[in-house]
Structure 1
Amino acid sequence: MQHVIGAAVQPAQCDVIRHSHERSATFGLFETMRPDYAVLSGPQLAAKLDESRALFAHALPVMETLYAQIANTHSMIALTDATGLILHSVGDDDFLARADKVALRAGAVWNEAHQGTNAIGTTIAERAAVTVHGDQHYLRANRFLTCSSVPILDPHGNLSGVLDVTGDRRGYHQHTMALVRMSGQMIENRLIASAFGDGIRISFHSRPEFIGTLMEGIAVFDLDGRLLCANRSAQFQLGLELGRLRSQTLEALFGVRADALVASAGDAPCRFELHSGVAVFASVDVHARAASNVAIAPAARDAAISNLANLCTGDAQMNDVVARVRKVIGKNIAILIGGETGAGKEMLARAIHGDSPRRAGPFVAVNCASLPETLIESELFGYAPGAFTGAARRGAVGKIVQANGGTLFLDEIGDMPLSMQSRLLRVLQERVVEPLGAARAVPVDFMLVCASNRKLRERVAQGEFREDLYYRINGLSVTLPPLAQRTDLRAVVDGMLRRERFAGRIVGIGDDVLALFARHPWPGNLRQLSNVLRTASAMLDDHDTHIGVEHLPHDFLDELGEPVRTDDTPPPANGARLADIEAGAVTAALKTHGGNVSATARALGISRTTLYRKLRV
């Protein structure tokens, strides 16, 4: 057994390391050998990211939070899939440079067969949290490291990936594993929350103050009371592993029938007696499709789909937007969203609200461009009874007051008349609203999110937008990428088809359709994509499971110069299509330049963004 510097090693840990060393030897590895430094190319890594997009989307914000806790400790955080392939890493620049020398970066594989004993690979082998410190690594090349890893299980109990913190062995901290464990549990809880759209979710603990924390147990049941999933805390509190829990019912575990619980959902707090006799406090959420006999509240439905994690589907630009937004949520900082028409500004605003401390409050959206100038004042600020001719007898509550306690989203704020801008500025400064004709001001408290497809700085310079209002609403400015520049088109399409169920059911799209989508400029962005998918879904027959080229709107195909296909349309000459020829040329050029994307793009006379898009096709 190798000596360990600065770490107290428990007997059980010694056994784990010893068994791992024995396995490493059976793989044909020896201590002094050069590790396998092979790293997947960009297209291959992108395909693997797509396979693990749910894990990646939910892990990314947790990794950022974890990094904020360990920054400047000469370490890094890595996320891998179930095979040990690193999907993403973040860390201190000085340590990343050293880690890069042993291929501890995205695209490298760190299972035991490749790297011998190491925290990632040994965690996969043991399906348990593992710390491997310094000389405990099997390969000498890795012994300058100390690594702490935890397995991440999917909602069904299968290994989904590994979360790891790796650093210089000289900076080893005993508390690192505790932070990694908590972060892994957060990811697992996020995966559970997103996996089951319909059902009964019970969050419980014997101490009520632990509800809403990482200590709470989470159990999910279908509407008939059959258990679907339980997190690790729930398994511990219920005294059964997930395999045995799956045969249990809601009534057997919590002593209450599903129909009775559905009928009383929302009543708080709940108190149950577990099958073991232990009393627990709980909060209950019920989610059901409209087709069910259980109605889901609009706020609950919006919360289910309006989550920032759902927007992280593999595109680096979107991931950056979400990461920046997360840091200001709940800190009374106004958010200004830029981007082209249809790029998803309201979707992001709803997601911000859904993840904010104000998510239980209202989300009030106002499109400043769609309201006539004569009505915008009364719509925003409301009015007292008899304030003007034609006013409602009882007056009206304005949108700003309606947003009290929640989020006010002012879309296309660049089109707000100057006269209204001054009134809005006063509301934001004083946090009170004076309805038209009212003798008294109304105090308000809301989170402000604004959006515009116009360049507001230019409108300020032109005297069409107040400079003081611009700086008031521009606490954090983010810009959504246009759809044509995004690298997660497949995930965007699949997510839209899954959420909207345009055909009354979930359908997919063919690879040839995705290839056409990748070539399209999408001037209408997500809104245009939604319309194309809606129309194509209407063309499907009952037996169709995928949208094909023959289902696409003819005007969409015309924009691409594609012939409209019918059953009698002959195949392209020689079986070749322009897209196939183009893909062959790109592949050949990439091979010629040894996989160097920048050199390949220069040789083809295109940008790297365009090249990545063509590689994705």
Structure 2
Amino acid sequence: MRDDVHPVGLTAANRSNGWPAPAIQKAHERSETFGLRASIRPDYDILSDTGLVLKREQNQTLCAHAMPIMETLREQIVNTQSMIVLTNAEGLILHSIGDDDFLHRAEKVALRPGANWAEDRQGTNAIGTSLAEGCAMVVHGDQHYLAANRFLTCSSVPILDPYGDLIGVLDVTGDYRSYHQHTMALAKMSVQMIENHLFSTAFRDVLQVSFHGRPEFLGTLMEGIIAFTHDGRFLSANRSAQFQFGLPLAALRTHTLSSLFQISYAQLIDRLTHGVAPHLMLNLHNGAVVCARAQFQRTSFGQGRGAVDVDVAAASRPARANGPRPETGLSRLSDLDTGDARVSALIAKLRRVLGKDIPILIAGETGTGKELLAQAIHNDSPRRDRPFVAVNCASIPESLIECELFGYEEGAFTGARRKGSIGKLMQANGGTLFLDEIGDMPYSLQVRLLRVLQERLVTPLGATRALPVDVSIICATHRNLREMIAQNQFREDLYYRINGLAVRLPSLRERSDLAVVVEKMLQRESVECGGRRSLSVAPDVMAEFARHAWPGNCRQLANLLRTAAAMVEDDREIRWEHLPDDFLDDVRGARCRSGEADHGEAAASAADTLAAGDALVPDGARLQDVTASAVAMTVARYGGNVSAAARALGVSRNTIYRKMPATQSGRPGGDD
């Protein structure tokens, strides 16, 4: 190893402080093999805005569950010269939030959304090294391979999906001089919360058994959670469950409900139905006794006479897509007709073909609500009481999509499930099959799909006979399929088979009904948040919504409103300080490109008039000094309440912090 790359982390003194020196050593050796030099400034290669929106869409589930927890974590570490970062499984930063002044410093080394922090790009760093090692990592100061990053201390924890696969990293990064040993513990707890939320969502329709040796830990991060099928087969377990059993996920997959808890499925249902105790007492396979709860959606257990309806801890979960329509859900065509002329015309066309076995092709940008429209078409059709099965062709690996669609027989390939698997086509038999992002279907599979649509027969992998299938087909895409046909990427015969009626959903920026869309989304959020009063949007924020480009369309708007709704105060009004930082960054960027003043800059620069009254501005005074003085006076007027001052000036709290004199804000003044 060259002299210019030896980090402090490799010294004996640093080992005595508990740093993972062997892992750092390996990481530095890998960095050298990538051809990096410690003294270079790397080519950061920031992803475009459009590319970043696409990556966020591809990781929508991760982002939706992680963002609220990131906000909670930020409240715990605010004013500590730090930031919180969420990446995907490749190390690409999807979101970041934190102290404004530190975010500015971090941008100088591209620690920002759209940048990739894998080891081959940034050398040894907590994000990239935790991905490479598959475990939580702290990389402190000089332990970073690149000299440019050595002002940082980073604590990263991998995030696993409900099946144990790595899907991202949560990282807390700060100035190396202000690092605190509790940071990693907070990061680990946050990741466990994210994973538990992902787990509960993924297995909401099956039996979940939560347990712990002490009843007070039920309902906390300490409880183990295991999911089982309706016949007691093991599906997955969270980290706490693996710890309590002393078995990794791979070993637990060989077990069943009976082998793990010494109770059969029928016995568990019987005890739940007739028991009166607040929780169950179950025996683990190793002889330990634990307190447990079981929850599952309301369904009928057993068959024929004597079937028992059981509903345990299910009241707070949303209804299934195929179940009764929620009162607040946008699940009928009439619900989607919110005043835009193009949408109204589109819905009128769709109503004319309902029940006529005409395939429908929905075009539109990502996030415009294509699946929502498909669900509404199904719910208004004669097939409404039969299954609605959605398949996202872009989200399934090419090696698995054939199995997913057509199913397979027992023994069709190594690792296949016993008794085989029914495919999505047969699951949708009698109902509607929605093929989202049909343009991403592998070319080799398109001919098989065409044959199914023409012959109405499905042959599972490994099967010797075809099965009849009756499905209504709805497809959707954000791609130009005609261009793909010209480039031999999409079959022309399949295109004309799925293109019975083609409609295009307008993007959100093209629609004239934005205010109604926002109102409906807020109504849903008010109900889900348990609010007695409806949510509203401040007029200046709504005006910005109307100007915004919304690259992520309705999905981006819904996610933004969901985050803002979780942060609103007693008056239930969404204001600038409730909006995510990445949205505010987009607004500032758009205004800079258009030559407009930033909302926060304009409001704070005008604060001398709002707060100083008739005070004269001294000759030669700098604008930033006048602004800082006016902001300080407003904060003083409200007794030091920054939130109240921000509301009075119509800006975010972060803007107040930036504009206040350093002696009052408690933050360092000036830029790095």
Query: What is aligned with 2:294?
Result: 284
TM-superposed deviation, 1:260: 1.4
Query: What is aligned with 2:8?
Result: 3
TM-superposed deviation, 1:271: 0.7
Take 1:65 and 1:247, find their aligned partners in 2: how far apart are those partners? 37
Q: Give, as a single letter, the amino acid of the residue that structure 1 aligns with 2:116.
A: V
Query: What is aligned with 1:547?
Result: 474
Further displaced range: 39-48 or 55-64: 39-48
Deviations along 1:511-560, whole A, 9 cap, x unmatched?
A: 9xxxxxxxxxxxxxxxxxxxxxxxx94999845474048xxxxxxxxxxx
Asked if residue 135 in structure 1 is aligned to residue 142 in structure 2, the reply is yes
For the Cα contact (< 8 Å) 2:389–2:433, is it kept in 1?
Answer: no
Take 1:578 and 1:237, find their aligned partners in 2: how far apart are those partners? 53
Take 2:205 and 2:49, find their aligned partners in 1: how far apart are those partners? 37
Percent identity of equivalent pairs: 45
Q: 1:609 aligns with which of 542, 549, 562?
A: 549
* Structure 2 CA distance for partners of 1:93 and 1:568, relative to 1, 3 Å: closer
Q: 1:506 aligns with which of 384, 389, 393?
A: 389
Query: What is aligned with 1:364?
Result: none
TM-superposed deviation, 1:493: 5.7
Deviations along 1:102-156, whole A, 9 cap, x unmatched?
A: 1111111111011111111011011100000110000011111110010111111
Query: What is aligned with 1:314?
Result: none
Query: What is aligned with 2:90?
Result: 83
Deviations along 1:385-416, whole A, 9 cap, x unmatched?
A: xxxxxxxxxxxxxxxxxxxxxxxxxxxxxxxx
For the Cα contact (< 8 Å) 1:510–1:548, is it kept in 2?
Answer: no
* Structure 2 CA distance for partners of 1:571 and 1:56, relative to 1, 3 Å: closer
For the Cα contact (< 8 Å) 2:38–2:145, is it kept in 1?
Answer: yes
* Structure 2 CA distance for partners of 1:261 and 1:612, relative to 1, 3 Å: closer
Take 1:108 and 1:262, find their aligned partners in 2: how far apart are those partners? 50
Q: Aligned with 1:264: secondary structure?
A: helix
Q: 1:16 aligns with which of 23, 41, 45?
A: 23
* Structure 2 CA distance for partners of 1:193 and 1:568, relative to 1, 3 Å: closer
Q: Superposition pairs for residues 309-320 of structure 1, below 5 Å?
A: none
Q: 2:100 aligns with which of 87, 93, 114?
A: 93
Query: What is aligned with 2:284?
Result: 274
Deviations along 1:319-366, whole A, 9 cap, x unmatched?
A: xxxxxxxxxxxxxxxxxxxxxxxxx99359xxxxxxxxxxxxxxxxxx
Take 1:495 and 1:135, find their aligned partners in 2: how far apart are those partners? 54
Deviations along 1:23-81, whole A, 9 cap, x unmatched?
A: 11111111011123111112211221121111111111111111110111111111111
Query: What is aligned with 1:231?
Result: 238
Q: Superposition pairs for residues 421-460 of structure 1, below 5 Å?
A: none
Further displaced range: 243-252 or 39-48: 39-48
* Structure 2 CA distance for partners of 1:299 and 1:31, relative to 1, 3 Å: same
For the Cα contact (< 8 Å) 1:498–1:506, is it kept in 2?
Answer: no
Deviations along 1:238-288, whole A, 9 cap, x unmatched?
A: 111000100101111111101211233364311111111111111111336
For the Cα contact (< 8 Å) 1:265–1:285, is it kept in 2?
Answer: no
Take 2:286 and 2:17, find their aligned partners in 1: how far apart are those partners? 33
Query: What is aligned with 2:58?
Result: 51
Deviations along 1:482-526, whole A, 9 cap, x unmatched?
A: xx9995635756888999995514135899xxxxxxxxxxxxxxx
Unmatched tracts of structure 2, length 5 or more = 1-5, 331-337, 339-363, 395-430, 435-452, 457-468, 477-493, 508-545, 557-672
Take 2:116 and 2:296, find their aligned partners in 1: how far apart are those partners? 41
Take 1:496 and 1:163, find their aligned partners in 2: how far apart are those partners? 36
* Structure 2 CA distance for partners of 1:613 and 1:509, relative to 1, 3 Å: same
TM-superposed deviation, 1:8: 7.1
Asked if residue 64 in structure 1 is aligned to residue 74 in structure 2, the reply is no
Unmatched tracts of structure 1, length 5 or more = 311-343, 349-452, 454-483, 512-535, 550-566, 583-605
Take 1:505 and 1:205, find their aligned partners in 2: how far apart are those partners? 37
The 4+ residue runs of structure 1 with deviation greater than 4 A are 4-12, 288-302, 484-488, 490-503, 508-511, 536-546, 567-572, 577-580, 610-616
Q: Give, as a single letter, the amino acid of the residue that structure 1 aligns with 2:101.
A: D
Q: 2:369 aligns with which of 486, 489, 493?
A: 489
Take 2:46 and 2:297, find their aligned partners in 1: how far apart are those partners? 43
Asked if residue 207 in structure 1 is aligned to residue 220 in structure 2, the reply is no
Take 2:50 and 2:388, find their aligned partners in 1: how far apart are those partners? 31
Q: 1:35 aligns with which of 32, 35, 42?
A: 42
Take 2:114 and 2:315, find their aligned partners in 1: how far apart are those partners? 36
Take 1:128 and 1:150, find their aligned partners in 2: how far apart are those partners? 7
Take 1:156 and 1:608, find their aligned partners in 2: how far apart are those partners? 38
Take 1:246 and 1:568, find their aligned partners in 2: how far apart are those partners? 42
Query: What is aligned with 2:182?
Result: 175
Q: 2:328 aligns with which of 337, 341, 346?
A: 346
Take 1:67 and 1:172, find their aligned partners in 2: how far apart are those partners? 15
For the Cα contact (< 8 Å) 1:186–1:214, is it kept in 2?
Answer: yes
Further displaced range: 146-155 or 43-52: 43-52
For the Cα contact (< 8 Å) 2:433–2:471, is it kept in 1?
Answer: no
Q: 2:316 aligns with which of 299, 303, 314?
A: 303
Take 2:263 and 2:473, find their aligned partners in 1: how far apart are those partners? 42
Query: What is aligned with 1:594?
Result: none
Further displaced range: 98-107 or 234-243: 98-107
For the Cα contact (< 8 Å) 1:254–1:273, is it kept in 2?
Answer: yes
* Structure 2 CA distance for partners of 1:299 and 1:578, relative to 1, 3 Å: closer
TM-score by length of 1: 0.54
Take 2:164 and 2:45, find their aligned partners in 1: how far apart are those partners? 30
Asked if residue 147 in structure 1 is aligned to residue 154 in structure 2, the reply is yes
Q: Give, as a single letter, the amino acid of the residue that structure 2 aligns with 1:2.
A: P
TM-score by length of 2: 0.50
Take 1:272 and 1:13, find their aligned partners in 2: how far apart are those partners? 39
For the Cα contact (< 8 Å) 1:203–1:217, is it kept in 2?
Answer: yes
For the Cα contact (< 8 Å) 2:232–2:265, is it kept in 1?
Answer: yes
* Structure 2 CA distance for partners of 1:237 and 1:76, relative to 1, 3 Å: same
Q: Aligned with 1:187: secondary structure?
A: helix
TM-superposed deviation, 1:570: 12
* Structure 2 CA distance for partners of 1:40 and 1:155, relative to 1, 3 Å: same
Q: Superposition pairs for residues 259-270 of structure 1, below 5 Å?
A: 259-265=266-272, 267=275, 268-270=278-280
TM-superposed deviation, 1:302: 5.0
Query: What is aligned with 2:418?
Result: none
Q: Give, as a single letter, the amino acid of the residue that structure 2 aligns with 1:184.
A: V
For the Cα contact (< 8 Å) 1:33–1:139, is it kept in 2?
Answer: yes
Take 1:14 and 1:103, find their aligned partners in 2: how far apart are those partners? 26
For the Cα contact (< 8 Å) 1:265–1:286, is it kept in 2?
Answer: no
Take 1:52 and 1:495, find their aligned partners in 2: how far apart are those partners? 22
Q: Aligned with 2:549: secondary structure?
A: helix
* Structure 2 CA distance for partners of 1:118 and 1:568, relative to 1, 3 Å: closer
Take 2:378 and 2:257, find their aligned partners in 1: how far apart are those partners? 28
Q: Superposition pairs for residues 185-264 of structure 1, below 5 Å?
A: 185-264=192-271
* Structure 2 CA distance for partners of 1:496 and 1:17, relative to 1, 3 Å: farther
* Structure 2 CA distance for partners of 1:262 and 1:10, relative to 1, 3 Å: farther
Q: 1:115 aligns with which of 118, 122, 127?
A: 122
Q: Give, as a single letter, the amino acid of the residue that structure 2 aligns with 1:77.
A: I
* Structure 2 CA distance for partners of 1:132 and 1:242, relative to 1, 3 Å: same
For the Cα contact (< 8 Å) 1:111–1:121, is it kept in 2?
Answer: yes
